[in-house]
């Protein structure tokens, strides 16, 4: 699993299709059957194991880590599965990580009662990248990245791997709430602010997209950040965002995209900060359900 996981991670960061193809070929050439064929099927999405609920894995993690520490880590990472992968402290070192074939077979043969113990032993045996990809794979949220430049068609020997689905117009604008901000260049106080915005998901806010803000708008944001920073993670400032106090702004976007790997499940592509919405109440911000129905009706 660890090797397959590091392949998936590499494909996320490599930009160039030729490089991607070579990395895939290198991986396959060093992988014996049956894992080679399984990997190929997962890469071209023709194999999707019956998914395990993330709540089951979350339950395993709860037994391992202090709830408050987990919550702080999750707020930073923004993804439950990845947070579990990164904070998991293995109980004992297994001498090898599970093979893909072992995982796929167990998922289809083990009963509900046997599965948690087995997953726990896999998490103990994998490295952090392995745990990350394992959780994505078994919860059915593993996605192999196309290019990190979305408007280029990428030719590829890996069939549909790098191709894009036909386009629907889902552009628009919504009121959203500032969650995090950081300087794009921490050394220059005039550099644009990279901001993460969220929308309501029940009583919580789910991160939905980010954009850079500069000029006068950045100054407005900055005075809010100065007064309402609630936590700092390196250069990233988390600002207050609740039903009483939050910074509400209008965000325009070119598309709504489904991103099962993210906490919110959807992401705004090509997000742009249009203006702060003065006198708006935090409750005026959009909700995840509204965005999702907009996407599905488009």
**145 near 12, Cβ under 8 Å?**
yes
Binding string, residues 165-204; x marks residues near other proteins by CB under 8 A: --------------------xxx-----------------
Is position 83 an interface residue for other proteins (rule: CB under 8 A)? yes
Smaller CB distance to other proteins: residue 85 or 104? 85
User: Within positions 266 to 285, which residues make up the interface with other proteins, using CB under 8 A?
Assistant: none
Is position 99 an interface residue for other proteins (rule: CB under 8 A)? no
Containing H/E element for 35? Answer: helix 35-43
By CB under 8 A, how many residues form the interface with other proteins? 38
Interface residue with other proteins among 51, 155, 235, 260 (CB under 8 A) is 235
Among residues 244, 248, 256, the alpha carbon closest in space to that of 285 is found at: 248
Both tokens of 237, joined, read 């400032």
Is position 15 an interface residue for other proteins (rule: CB under 8 A)? yes
**Candidates 55-63, 77-85, 213-221, 239-247 — which segment interacts with other proteins by CB under 8 A?**
77-85
Interface residue with other proteins among 4, 31, 70, 125 (CB under 8 A) is 70
Supply the DSSP string of 10-23, one letter for each residue. Answer: HHHH---HHHHHHH
Unique residue bearing structure tokens 């893909």: 100
**251 near 289, Cβ under 8 Å?**
no
User: Within positions 123 to 142, which residues make up the interface with other proteins, using CB under 8 A?
Assistant: 127-128, 132
Q: How far is the CB of 6 from other proteins (least distance, A)?
A: 8
3-state SS class at 238: strand
Residue 283 per-residue DSSP state: G
177: CB partners within 8 A, 6+ apart: 197, 198, 199, 205, 241, 246, 247, 248, 249, 282, 285
Residues that bind other proteins (CB under 8 A): 9-10, 12-16, 19, 22-23, 26, 65-66, 68-70, 72-73, 76-79, 82-83, 86-87, 127-128, 132, 148, 185-187, 231-235
């Amino acid at each position: 699993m660890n090797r397959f996981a590091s392949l998936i991670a590499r494909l996320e960061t490599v930009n160039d299709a030729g490089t991607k193809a070579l990395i895939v070929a290198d991986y396959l050439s060093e992988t014996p059957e049956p894992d080679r064929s399984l990997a190929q099927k997962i890469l071209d999405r023709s194999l999707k194991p019956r998914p395990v609920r993330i709540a089951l894995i979350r339950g395993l993690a709860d037994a391992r880590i202090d709830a408050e520490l987990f919550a702080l880590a999750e707020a930073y990472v923004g993804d439950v599965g990845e947070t579990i992968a990164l904070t998991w402290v293995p109980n004992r070192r297994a001498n090898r990580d599970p093979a893909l074939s072992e995982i796929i077979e167990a998922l289809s043969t083990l009963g509900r009662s046997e599965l948690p113990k087995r997953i726990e032993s896999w998490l103990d045996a994998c490295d952090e990248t392995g745990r990350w990809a394992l959780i994505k794979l078994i919860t059915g949220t593993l996605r192999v990245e196309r290019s990190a430049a979305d408007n280029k068609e990428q030719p590829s020997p890996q069939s549909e791997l790098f191709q894009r689905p036909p386009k629907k117009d889902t552009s628009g604008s919504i009121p959203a709430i500032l969650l995090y901000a950081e300087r794009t260049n921490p050394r220059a106080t005039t550099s644009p602010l990279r901001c993460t915005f969220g929308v309501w998901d029940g009583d919580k806010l789910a991160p939905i997209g980010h954009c850079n803000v500069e000029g006068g708008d950045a100054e407005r944001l900055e005075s809010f950040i100065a007064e309402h920073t609630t936590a700092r993670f390196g250069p990233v400032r988390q600002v207050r965002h609740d039903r009483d106090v939050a910074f509400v702004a209008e965000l325009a976007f070119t598309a709504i995209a489904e991103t099962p790997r993210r906490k919110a499940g959807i992401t705004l592509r090509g997000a742009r900060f249009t203006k702060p919405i003065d006198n708006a109440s935090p409750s005026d911000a959009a909700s995840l359900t509204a965005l999702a129905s907009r996407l599905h009706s488009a």
